Structure 1
Amino acid sequence: MISGEFLAFMGLALVGVIGGVLLLNLTKVVHMVVALVFTFVSIAGIYILLSAEFIAAVQILVYSGAITIIMLFGIMLTKHDDEGEQQKGNLRNIPVFLGVAAFAGVVYAGIYNLDLNPGSNTLHVNNTEQIGIALFSRYIIPFELVSVVLLVALVGAIILAKKDQKEGE
């Protein structure tokens, strides 16, 4: 019996795989970034199917939003030649396709034959609240250390950008 959850998973997985393949095969960098966004959003959808709404929201905010924008700004602000590699023949795509198909077959066989004992169904109840309580009680020191490291990285990036700007004048 095919359920709606199975169809949603297969659709999201198909979008993710197609986005990844397009990311590798497209020649324009902006098109590659758009394909990467499709992959990130499909992964967030799979997280929602797994009842991990917090991780899905972080996936959308951090990867689909921030990382993609940073990549686009990096592309637009750097000097690059728009000349790509000479296109090689389509003959090289055949072994790549066969390799991907073989990998997909092995993964399918591994998942199909996997026998997991069902776990507790109360795992996803109030998962965002449980993450918040753990983060701000048990892991508060590592959380604050990460924020300090990110602040130092931000200040370092600003200092490096100012040095490059002064040298370019």
Structure 2
Amino acid sequence: MLANIADFFSSGANLVFFLFALFAIGGAIFMISFTKVVSMVVSVAVTFLSLAGLYVLLEAEFLAMAQVLIYAGGISILMIFGIMMTRHQGEEEESKQPWYSRLLWIGIIGLFGILFYVFQKTTFPQTEFKAPEDNTLEIGKLLFNQHVIPFELMSVLLTVAFIGAIVLAKREEE
């Protein structure tokens, strides 16, 4: 079992994968654990940037740049604008359940233990992956041919969410 761990960490790509995965999971955990909204936004940005790093490891550079530009940049800035546009109370309430954090850590350690055991006992098939020459061209073909309806529905959904945010912001001013 320990030989598998040593083999896994002997490769630099696996070590970088582990670090990016650790930052992504840690950012997500911190996002749901923090009580201050700005700290939550920073945690989400760390998660988004870590996912972009994982995309680079998967040789999906276009998705990595889209992740950085749209999510880590745009969505994080949009969240900060939302924080600035809304009113907040002065002090935030302390957690009334001190056992919550201990139970959370026990659950996290248990989950990682189960995942570690399953990954050690599973044999993954070794197949050869043939990456396309131009990732961006292939994504464009799939997006505008096979997945055009979900793409357009997503644009309508984002437009409705944007209009709803403007309406909510206008109501607070009045």
Structure-2-length-normalised TM-score: 0.78
CA distance in 2, matches of 1:164, 1:76: 15
Question: Hey, what does 1:103 align to over in structure 2?
Answer: 111
State how 1:53-64 maps to structure 2 within 5 Å. 53-64=61-72
Gaps of 5+ in 1: none
1:134 matches 2:142:
yes
Report the Cα offset of residue 84 of structure 1: 1.1
Report the Cα offset of residue 36 of structure 1: 1.5
1:30 matches 2:38:
yes
CA distance in 2, matches of 1:92, 1:161: 33
Q: Secondary structure at 2:32's aligned position in 1?
A: helix
Q: Secondary structure at 2:53's aligned position in 1?
A: helix
Question: Hey, what does 2:18 align to over in structure 1?
Answer: 10
Report the Cα offset of residue 117 of structure 1: 1.8
1:164 matches 2:160:
no
For 2:137, the aligned partner's letter is E
For 2:48, the aligned partner's letter is F
CA distance in 2, matches of 1:146, 1:93: 36
Which deviates more from structure 2 when the two are superposed, residues 130-139 or residues 35-44?
Answer: 130-139
Two-structure CA RMSD over aligned residues (Å): 2.7
For 2:171, the aligned partner's letter is D
Report the Cα offset of residue 34 of structure 1: 0.9
Report the Cα offset of residue 61 of structure 1: 1.9
1:51 matches 2:59:
yes
Report the Cα offset of residue 64 of structure 1: 0.8
CA distance in 1, matches of 2:108, 2:51: 19
Q: Is the 2:85–2:169 contact (alpha carbons within 8 Å) kept by the matching residues of 1?
A: no
Which deviates more from structure 2 when the two are superposed, residues 128-137 or residues 19-28?
Answer: 19-28
For 1:25, the aligned partner's letter is S
Q: Is the 1:16–1:39 contact (alpha carbons within 8 Å) kept by the matching residues of 2?
A: yes
Q: Is the 1:51–1:124 contact (alpha carbons within 8 Å) kept by the matching residues of 2?
A: no
Q: Secondary structure at 1:18's aligned position in 2?
A: helix
Q: Is the 2:48–2:71 contact (alpha carbons within 8 Å) kept by the matching residues of 1?
A: yes
Q: Deviations over 1:110-151 (max 9, x none)?
A: 222222223332135422211112223344455445435544
Gaps of 5+ in 2: 1-6
Structure-1-length-normalised TM-score: 0.80
